[in-house]
Amino acid sequence: MNKLTGITLLAALLLTPLTGASAAGAPAGSAERGKQLYMQHVCYSCHGTVGQGGGKAGPKLAPDPFPYDAFESQLREPRNVMPRYPKKFVSDQALADIYAYVASIPAGTKADDLPLLRR
């Protein structure tokens, strides 16, 4: 391996965690850690523990959350009454983890598929 190849490889390795994106174009994050952060930052108090929404307190977040960019700008500069989460309190990595958690929440069973609710 020549020196240039070595440097290129090293740069690629160093940059991977920064550019490693998930399928949704979001930075890589840990859903497990994100769940803890979601609870710790009391997102659940308005949006529900599985992002199901809390009526007027906060809209539904999952399944299929906003694209990452919109999610990030809502936390950094909320549109309306939601509290702001600056980097000082929720780092970029924490935000990616929270997003990974919200994005990992599966859709619930459709009402039509619940035998009790079938007419």
Task: Compute the least distance from the CB of residue 31 to ligand HEC, in Å.
Answer: 13
Q: Which is nearer to ligand HEC, 28 or 46 (CB)?
A: 46
Q: Which is nearer to ligand HEC, 78 or 108 (CB)?
A: 78
Q: List residues binding ligand HEC (CB under 6 A).
A: 41-43, 45-47, 57-59, 61, 66, 71, 74-75, 78-83, 85, 98
Task: Compute the least distance from the CB of residue 75 to ligand HEC, in Å.
Answer: 6
| Angstrom distances, CA of residue 77 to CA of 5, 84, 86, 92, 101 | 42, 6, 8, 14, 21
Residues in the chain: 119
Task: Compute the least distance from the CB of residue 23 to ligand HEC, in Å.
Answer: 18
Closest of 27, 4, 3, 25 to residue 15, by C-alpha: 27
Cβ 44 vs Cβ 38: under 8 Å: yes
